[in-house]
Structures are given as structure tokens and as C-alpha cells.
């Protein structure tokens, strides 16, 4: 009967997790939810057929999972993407439930309630918004922790063999899903195996650590390790400083995300003495979220990502700690009232973050948008711009495809790169406006032609030089530069108002910039 009830409880938390995952998808359909969804995951998925490297990513398990489901189910790739994300959040709910029952030794009923509390925290919802690879890796990490929790001796039998095989598979799935989770699992497992003197587990850890480091150092091309410099120098030398968030920003982010839970976290963390396998990753994530205290160029260690992840573990101990405090209340009615108010208020807080339209300042992080805006959205109804503007942007790209020449170069924000990657017809090119400075007198004509920023001018001159080398004709049409700038109406309208507008919609404007024919202005 207990097993049947446990299975039923697992189905309940899975269903609730899937429900939480499906709400923003339905609410914002047909447009994707999440910044990385449109700028990373979907372009990688749609490129998969022509890309020999799976999804063009160093950690391909998530992309491979979505694409495999797409092939097996014969479904649309975008539908497969959404279905997998929904199921993954349901799976995260299951693994969180198992952490409460297997590691913290809570009753089934309490574990259900605690799980709902955790998966409705902003930290978990932030990962669900667009950190889909993190969700997959966290599911594997949680399963690894649950499995490791049963390792207590070096006694070797058939059951132990199955455990070691299981943990090895989970290790590999975690390591090749996400580097952060891989590092966290390796550190946690090594400390745990040393603490309980598990020699075989220590050996497995060392082998997988060697595999992970070899794979990472050979193929890594995006982290500070791959820049070809001394990694230590990269982290401390001001020359390599790329911090987009200041220490103050990171502190505000952390406190606004789960500061209110810290007192209960301390109680729960200190009172639960037999949960070492869960305490280790909790401490590691908290320590790494404070890397900015010691590392000047802390952006290379992504402390904001560690803050989000630490919020997940902090919330687990926090809800446990809260009920320890609440249980001290002698009056049962008061105890129940306080418990219901506490849990229900946090649940409502999370639900409103899911369903509220973008632009409403409601959550604590949203009050500090100057510090948290680069990390936490105002609500989940957002990708690289407000959802209600998505169709307008797609229509604008369609206009570009039908009304511009094949050699057109479109200048726009890097935050829209995913849209143009998916919908802009080749060989048209999309150039990030962040890499090009457009002075206010850009359209002014002087003796030497149009006044261009050196960066953009170099790009255009270089291409013109190649065009002259590759053609035997003097036809203007072959060498003519077709340059356009696309932007939101509310963004820089005053700055670009002197340019001719060729497309004007409700939210988007497209300007035609002065063309160059290999150094000659069209306005001459």
C-alpha cells in the first residue's frame, strides 16, 4: 500500500510540475518563452541537420534529447521543444520530491507540499524560463544525489554493482548536459566518497573527472580557459575585465531572490545532520555565488548562474527549516494558520510570476531592475522582447526578405539574433548594432562621402574590395551596398530620425542607411 501511495504521490508532483511548465507555453503560444530559447536552443535545433557537431554545442545532451523526441514522435520540432521542456520540469518535480523523501526523510505528504513550494520559487522558475539545459542537468544531478545517498560501505554485491552502474550513467548524463552541474556533481561526489571511504566510488570519480577535463579542454571554445592566456591572469588582470554585473548588483540579486528565506535555511541546514549528500552541493553553490568577493573578473565564473542554482538548494532547506520553527508553536490552530499563510503566499508569488504580463513590477527582484534586469525577467512572458511584439518582428523580417536584395545587410540588436537566424533568408546578413557605433550625423554627407563609424566602414570597405576582385563588370548593382537598420520604435527613434524610413509598423521601424558603392556615396 505504501509503494502504491508513493507512486501516486510521484504522479501528483509530476503532473503539477508539468502543469507549471505548460502554463507559460500555452499563454504565449505560438511564440517561445525565454531569452535563450529564441537565441540559442531553437537556432541550434533547426541547424542540427546541417551541423556535424550536435546542435553546435559543447554539451549536446539536451539538444540531442529534443531532436530525438522530434524524430521518434514525428512531431514538429518546435512542438517537440515545448513538450520536452514541460516533461523536464515535471521530472524536476519528481527528483525534488525524492530528495525530500530519500535524503531529508520527510513523509510523503510533507514531501509533496515541500516540492510544490520549491518548484514555485523564482530560482526554479528562472531556470524553467530559458535554462532548459540546466533543468535537464539538475534532474540528473538530483537523481545522482539520491543514488549516492544509499552508498555507505565498500561491501560489493549484485545490488552494489547496479548502484555503481546507475551512478556512472547519471554522472555521464550530467557531465555532458552542462558544465556547471558537472563540476558541482564531481565536487560533491568526491567529498562524499572521501567522507565515507568509498574506494570504488573514488576511482569512478577520478576516471570521470579525467574524462570531463579532457573533453572540456580539448573542445572548449567559449570559456576563459579557451582564450589561449593564463587562466589565472584572465581572472585577475583588469585588462580582461568583462563584468556586466557589479558586486553590488550580484548581492542585490541574491538577497532579492531568496534573502527572505535565509533565516529558515540556516535552521533547516543546521538541524538536519544526516543529509551530507545534499549539504555539499548547497555549500558549493553558495560559495561559488560569492566568487565576486575574491575574483576581480568574476563574470568568467558566472556567479549569477550560481546564485540562481543556489536558490534551488536554499529553498529545499528553507521549507524544511520553516516547519521546524512552526512546529514549536504550541497552539495547533496558530501553527496551521502560519504554515498555510507562509506556503500559500510563496505559491501565489510564483504563480503570478508565471502568468502576469510582462512589464508589471511585482516580484522583489523586479523592484531592483537596475541590478537584476540582466538576470531575472519581470515575468515569464518574455523572450528577447515583449511577447506581444513578436509577431511584429516576424512580419518585419518577412518584409526584409521580400523587399530587399539578396546582398542586404541588416543592422540590429544582438538580442534579436535568434529571430534573424531562423527567419532571415540567406545570403542576407545580420550585423549586431552593439558592434557598430552609429553617430547621430551618420547620414550627413561630406566631401569624402557618408560619415561612417570606422568599425562599420572597415567591414563595408573590405567587402567592396573583395567584390572588385571577384568581378569583371562595372555594374553598379553588383557592388551596391544595401544596408538597413531595424529597431524598436521606442528605442532610438530620435537618434535615427534623420534616416529614411522604409518600413513602419506598430512596434518596429526599418531605416535605409546611406549606401556605399565601394567608397562612393549614393547621394553624390
Span 379-408, pLDDT tens digits: 999 999 999 999 999 999 999 999 999 889
CB 189 within 8 A of CB 144: yes
Among 13-17, 424-428, 430-434, 457-461, the minimum mean pLDDT is found in 457-461
Q: Are residues 223 and 101 in the same domain?
A: yes
pLDDT band at 33 (very low <50, low <70, confident <90, very high): very high
Mention every residue, 6+ apart, whose C-beta is less than 8 A from residue 288: 301, 303, 306, 310
Span 227-261, pLDDT tens digits: 556 778 888 888 878 888 999 999 999 999 999 99
> How far apart, in whole angstroms, are the C-alpha atoms of residue 57 and residue 44?
8
For residue 521, pLDDT beyond 60:
no
Residue 381 covered by a domain? no
Q: Are residues 319 and 413 in the same domain?
A: no
Q: Quick one: pLDDT at residue 448?
A: 31
Q: Quick one: pLDDT at residue 455?
A: 43
For residue 26, pLDDT beyond 80:
yes
CB 64 within 8 A of CB 132: no
- Choice between 322 and 229, residue whose per-residue pLDDT is larger: 322
For residue 436, pLDDT beyond 70:
no
- Tell me what the pLDDT averaged over the chain comes to: 84
For residue 74, give its domain range.
2-372
> How far apart, in whole angstroms, are the C-alpha atoms of residue 520 and residue 87?
57
pLDDT band at 495 (very low <50, low <70, confident <90, very high): low
The share of the chain scoring above pLDDT 90, in percent, equals 57
Residue 511 covered by a domain? yes
Using a 10 angstrom Cβ sphere, with 0-12 exposed, 13-18 middle and 19 or more buried, the burial of residue 109 is exposed
Mean pLDDT of 292-315: 94
Q: Quick one: pLDDT at residue 101?
A: 95
For residue 273, pLDDT beyond 50:
yes
**Domain boundary pick from 340, 372, 404:** 372
Instruction: Report the SS3 class of residue 517.
Output: strand
Among 265-274, 364-373, 380-389, 470-479, the minimum mean pLDDT is found in 470-479
Mention every residue, 6+ apart, whose C-beta is less than 8 A from residue 464: 479, 481, 516, 517, 518, 519
Residue 382 covered by a domain? no
Residue 453 covered by a domain? yes
Q: Quick one: pLDDT at residue 449?
A: 30
Q: Quick one: pLDDT at residue 458?
A: 43
Q: Are residues 27 and 84 in the same domain?
A: yes
Cis peptide before 427 (omega within 30 of 0): yes
Maximum mean pLDDT: which of 106-120, 181-195, 473-487: 106-120
CB 354 within 8 A of CB 377: no
> How far apart, in whole angstroms, are the C-alpha atoms of residue 236 and residue 301?
12
Q: Quick one: pLDDT at residue 233?
A: 81
> What burial letters (b/e) apply to 210-235, b meaning 16+ CB within 10 Å?
eebeebbeeeeeeebeeeeeeeeebb
Residue 508 covered by a domain? yes
CB 475 within 8 A of CB 486: no
Strands 409-412 and 429-432 turn out to be parallel
Residue 378 covered by a domain? no
The share of the chain scoring above pLDDT 70, in percent, equals 81
> How far apart, in whole angstroms, are the C-alpha atoms of residue 222 and residue 374?
20
CB 121 within 8 A of CB 310: no
Q: Are residues 341 and 242 in the same domain?
A: yes
Mention every residue, 6+ apart, whose C-beta is less than 8 A from residue 217: 225
Residue 380 covered by a domain? no
For residue 226, pLDDT beyond 60:
no
Which backbone phi and psi does 430 adopt, to 5 degrees?
Answer: -110, 120
Q: Are residues 338 and 428 in the same domain?
A: no
Q: Quick one: pLDDT at residue 55?
A: 46
Q: Are residues 34 and 62 in the same domain?
A: yes
The count of structural domains within the chain is: 2
- Choice between 304 and 54, residue whose per-residue pLDDT is larger: 304
For residue 40, pLDDT beyond 70:
yes
For residue 208, pLDDT beyond 70:
yes
The C-alpha cell that represents 482 in the structure block: 544595401
Q: Are residues 239 and 280 in the same domain?
A: yes
Please count the other Cβ atoms lying within 10 Å of the Cβ belonging to residue 294.
11
Mean pLDDT of 213-239: 70
Q: Quick one: pLDDT at residue 520?
A: 39
> How far apart, in whole angstroms, are the C-alpha atoms of residue 411 and residue 21?
35
Residue 140 covered by a domain? yes
Q: Are residues 316 and 419 in the same domain?
A: no
pLDDT band at 496 (very low <50, low <70, confident <90, very high): low
Mention every residue, 6+ apart, whose C-beta is less than 8 A from residue 196: 151, 152, 153
Among 157-166, 199-208, 292-301, 312-321, the minimum mean pLDDT is found in 157-166
Mean pLDDT of 136-142: 96
**DSSP summary character for residue 519:** T
411, β-bridge pairs: 431, 485
Q: Are residues 208 and 353 in the same domain?
A: yes
Q: Are residues 213 and 86 in the same domain?
A: yes
Q: Quick one: pLDDT at residue 377?
A: 94
Q: Are residues 325 and 459 in the same domain?
A: no
Amino acid at each position: 500500500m505504501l509503494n502504491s501511495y508513493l507512486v501516486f504521490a510521484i504522479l501528483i508532483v509530476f503532473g503539477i510540475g508539468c502543469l507549471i511548465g505548460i502554463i507559460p507555453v500555452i499563454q504565449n503560444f505560438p511564440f517561445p518563452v525565454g531569452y535563450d530559447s529564441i537565441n540559442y536552443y531553437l537556432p541550434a535545433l533547426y541547424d542540427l541537420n546541417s551541423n556535424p557537431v550536435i546542435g553546435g554545442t559543447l554539451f549536446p545532451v539536451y539538444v540531442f534529447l529534443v531532436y530525438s523526441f522530434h524524430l521518434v514522435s514525428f512531431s514538429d520540432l518546435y512542438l517537440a521543444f515545448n513538450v520536452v521542456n514541460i516533461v523536464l520540469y515535471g521530472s524536476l518535480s519528481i527528483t525534488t520530491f525524492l530528495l525530500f523523501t530519500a535524503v531529508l526523510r520527510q513523509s510523503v505528504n510533507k514531501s509533496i507540499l515541500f516540492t510544490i513550494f520549491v518548484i514555485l520559487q523564482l530560482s526554479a522558475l528562472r531556470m524553467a524560463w530559458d535554462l532548459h539545459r540546466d533543468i535537464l542537468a539538475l534532474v540528473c544531478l538530483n537523481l545522482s544525489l539520491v543514488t549516492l545517498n544509499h552508498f555507505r560501505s565498500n561491501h560489493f554485491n549484485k545490488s552494489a554493482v547496479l548502484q555503481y552502474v546507475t551512478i556512472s550513467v547519471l554522472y555521464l548524463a550530467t557531465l555532458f548536459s552542462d558544465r556547471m552541474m558537472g563540476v558541482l556533481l564531481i565536487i560533491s561526489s568526491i567529498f562524499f566518497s572521501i567522507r565515507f571511504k568509498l574506494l570504488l566510488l573514488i576511482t569512478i570519480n577520478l576516471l570521470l573527472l579525467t574524462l570531463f577535463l579532457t573533453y572540456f579542454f580539448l573542445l572548449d571554445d567559449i570559456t576563459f580557459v579557451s582564450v589561449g592566456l593564463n587562466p589565472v591572469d584572465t581572472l585577475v588582470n583588469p585588462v580582461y575585465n568583462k563584468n556586466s554585473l557589479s558586486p553590488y548588483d550580484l548581492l542585490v540579486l541574491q538577497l532579492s531572490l531568496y534573502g527572505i528565506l535565509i533565516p529558515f535555511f540556516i535552521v533547516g541546514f543546521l538541524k538536519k545532520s544526516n543529509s551530507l549528500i545534499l549539504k555539499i552541493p548547497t555549500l558549493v553553490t553558495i560559495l561559488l555565488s560569492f566568487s565576486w568577493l575574491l575574483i576581480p573578473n568574476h563574470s568568467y565564473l558566472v556567479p549569477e548562474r550560481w546564485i540562481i542554482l543556489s536558490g534551488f538548494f536554499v529553498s529545499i532547506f528553507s521549507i524544511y527549516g520553516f516547519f521546524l520553527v512552526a512546529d514549536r508553536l504550541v497552539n495547533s490552530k496558530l501553527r496551521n494558520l502560519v504554515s498555510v499563510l507562509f506556503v500559500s503566499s510563496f505559491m501565489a508569488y510564483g504563480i503570478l510570476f508565471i502568468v502576469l504580463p510582462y512589464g508589471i513590477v511585482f516580484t522583489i527582484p523586479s523592484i531592483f531592475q537596475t541590478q537584476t534586469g540582466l538576470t531575472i525577467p519581470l515575468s515569464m512572458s518574455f523572450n528577447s522582447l515583449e511577447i506581444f511584439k513578436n509577431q511584429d518582428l516576424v512580419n518585419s523580417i518577412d518584409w526584409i526578405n521580400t523587399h530587399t536584395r539578396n546582398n542586404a545587410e541588416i543592422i540590429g540588436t544582438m538580442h534579436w539574433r535568434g529571430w534573424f537566424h531562423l527567419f532571415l533568408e540567406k545570403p542576407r546578413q545580420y550585423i549586431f548594432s552593439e558592434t557598430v557605433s552609429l553617430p547621430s550625423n551618420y547620414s550627413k554627407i561630406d566631401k569624402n562621402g557618408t560619415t561612417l563609424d570606422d568599425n562599420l566602414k572597415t567591414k563595408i570597405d573590405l567587402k567592396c574590395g573583395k567584390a572588385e576582385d571577384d568581378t569583371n563588370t562595372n555594374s553598379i548593382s553588383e557592388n551596391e551596398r544595401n544596408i538597413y537598420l531595424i529597431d524598436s520604435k521606442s528605442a532610438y527613434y530620435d537618434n535615427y530620425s534623420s534616416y529614411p524610413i522604409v518600413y513602419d509598423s506598430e512596434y518596429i521601424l526599418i531605416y535605409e542607411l546611406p549606401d556605399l558603392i565601394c567608397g562612393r556615396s549614393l547621394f553624390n
